[in-house]
Structure 1
């Protein structure tokens, strides 16, 4: 049986959310992100793109390119709420779906032709989302995730595109090669230097040649160019989480030790989120006292993977939770409500300098190990794995950090 995979993507989601809140912003150039000159563009309307504005750009440059645009500091709590609204609609109508990010979804509609036409079902699903959330959304429908995702991009803005079985290669052929997911600017420039601009050229090349040029990714890119993809739908579960716990050798009330351990765990888990391209929307803290009484407290937050946001919330929850003033045997942290997504959603409050710092620190951790860089507030603490790093037993690089 041929599969039917739909990919849905909310159009310029943060911009659309702001326009839902204020209808006067409709059809006007709009930029969402950090409002200072050192801020970064998180999202921009189609009206600004013809001036060269794009996400990830310095806000200062964006203002120069499109000085008549309205600039709004994003509110991630609002976007999280609107994303949940869309998620609930899809959940109520589709047996299994994947939430790939805060504004992007996949669903397997295979076999639904037995009950009603798949195209009609997909169309009605999109219309329901638009009607109930007042947010524009586009979709692509084909036999696999990659072709559907590319089709969604071609359908935008606020439209839908169906690729019939057997027509995948002819649909992809005239498109630019950088429309294929995983072909970034660096890879695209390499392809251009070889005279490869269109997907059609990739389709005609021997796969071995692409492997020679692009390494192990060459075969994947060749398959995608030919519309071949067997990536499964990863069902969305609200309870998906990552966590860490520390049981102390001796029960303690040493606040400096507890603080260092909490911050160390929160920081490490935040790095794990970013490394896995994940964002969390629920933070939980657990305490087990010396008498084995265990209590926990959690808080819903706007989607994030930022150390400074998560550490602050962890410390706040711990202060609310630690009321018995007894010796503590164990403390734990859990981040749940995970979705796919990058650091972009945190840019409303952060400067370009802050984003650069996170990227630089994560590159060091990726190369030398997750404990190779630590905050000064955690150095000397007793959290698991903190004290040495992969540099032949040398102590880790310590960041002097003023925590607020």
Structure 2
């Protein structure tokens, strides 16, 4: 007999806002926006008080303030978020045998098998209370038989709540909810379903899978399975990789600044793309220089959490200027991104404007589909055929 699965989804409510409120309690109960400049910035996160006015993540800050003029805009304190996320991760890591961290504020936990000895819902409840007590952060969770239903249960439990969906009652729980509540069901897909009168998940559960496949192709089966609470995806064990890096050895020693910068741009682009592909962010940037006599120097600096080329590349160039004695030719040069943490693109919105976000998403979609460096900066194209050897964990 196969064990019933017990999957917990944990989400820290309005994470960035909650962290800021710990340090400034006067923000409690007020509409708060975390994000970039009013002129060209984008909302990275917002409080529930701001959401009531229609404010949401990735919205231009200027639009958000039109909807909620009384909102308090905070640029963001990057180190605090990374520290708080790590604190929560350590609590979970100590308490459960298997978990997956999908972003700085979101986790899946597999309690399958533990129900032979303990009540899975009680384990999750106790863990939630410990996180709240130790960190002071509000947190919600959903417990169900798979990741899809658990995540939906968390969203229904928010803010600062918990919800159990019992085995066998998954479809019943999902049925009255709007189809937009299904994770990974995009706006365009929902709009198309609306055209056929499909608005609630119950409507979608009654639809023949062959109809969905005729309209959406292979994605039709994915939609049907999600609507019918079918999800056998596994919990991917959390792996705390600390850094990624690469280096380039020149055929002939060089002291040409243009060549060195072209190499650095190309390497940094590839590492940044790798971060975004793996949903990771870096908080420390470093370069390595090896001279002709094998004398090696490194230079590093802490940075705000990011995976954005336009932040990393200028930082790398500045480190080169600081580390390199320009009278000496270089044999090898390397780039390293460290202090990594899980995090999706949203956290980068602190420094980005709307145009840059759209550009990155478009470039990454092309490179994901057709291969790395299909689209890249001209400087990187000059050396696109060089030997690139990234390596893994430190």
**TM-score (structure 1 length as normaliser):** 0.86
In structure 1, what is the equivalent of residue 132 of structure 2?
Answer: 130
Cα distance in 2 for partners of 1:297, 1:117 equals: 51
| Aligned counterpart in structure 1 of residue 18 of structure 2, from 16, 19, 23 | 16
How many residues are matched? 386
Query: Where in structure 2 are the equivalents of 1:146-295 lying within 5 Å?
Result: 146-239=148-241, 241-291=243-293
Correspondence for 1:390:
none
CA, structure 1 residues 4+284, in 2 after alignment: closer, same or farther (shift >3 Å)? Answer: farther
Contact 2:30–2:71 at 8 Å: present in 1 too? yes
Q: Is the 8 A contact 2:103 2:279 kept in 1?
A: no
> Structure 2: where are the runs of 5+ without partners?
389-394
Per-residue deviation, 1:8: 0.4
Residue in 1 that maps onto 2:82? 80
Distance 1:318 1:127 in 2: 47
Report matched runs for 1:305-320 at 5 Å: 305-318=307-320
CA 1:236–1:300: 2 relative to 1, 3 Å: farther
Change (3 A) 1:39 1:328: same
The answer to whether the 8 Å contact 1:261/1:383 transfers is no
User: Which runs of structure 2 are paired with 1:28-107 in the superposition (5 Å)?
Assistant: 28-107=30-109
The 8 Å contact of residues 48 and 69 in structure 1, kept in 2 or not, is answered as yes
Is the contact between residue 260 and residue 383 of structure 1 (CA under 8 Å) also seen in structure 2? no
The 2-side partners of 1:164 and 1:63 are apart by 41
User: Which moved further from structure 2: 173-182 or 73-82?
Assistant: 73-82
Asked if the contact 1:174/1:200 (under 8 Å) is kept, the reply is: yes
> Quick one: structure 1 residues 50 and 233, their matched pair in 2 at CA, closer, same or farther if it must change by over 3 Å?
same
Please give the per-residue CA displacement for 1:214-249, whole angstroms capped at 9, x wherever unaligned.
121111121111111111111111126544332221
| C-alpha distance 376-219 of structure 1, shift in aligned 2 (>3 A) | closer
Quick check: 1:97–1:235 contact (8 Å CA) kept in 2? yes
Secondary structure of 2:140's match? strand
Q: Is the 8 Å Cα contact of residues 15 and 44 (structure 1) preserved in structure 2?
A: yes
- Root-mean-square deviation (CA), in Å? 2.7
Q: CA deviation at 1:103?
A: 0.7
- Give, in whole Å, the separation in 2 of the partners of 1:321 and 1:4: 52
Deviations 1:299-344 (A, max 9, x none): 5544311112222343455456557976533333343554443322
**Superposition deviation, residue 122 in structure 1:** 0.7
Structure 1: give runs of 5+ residues left out of the alignment.
387-404
CA distance in 2, matches of 1:88, 1:321: 36
CA positional deviation for 1:151: 0.7
Q: Secondary structure at the match of 2:234?
A: coil
Change (3 A) 1:382 1:113: closer
Aligned partner of residue 73 in structure 2, secondary structure:
strand
Q: Kindly tell me: are residues 179 and 337 of structure 1, through their superposed partners in 2, closer, same or farther at Cα, counting changes over 3 Å? A: farther
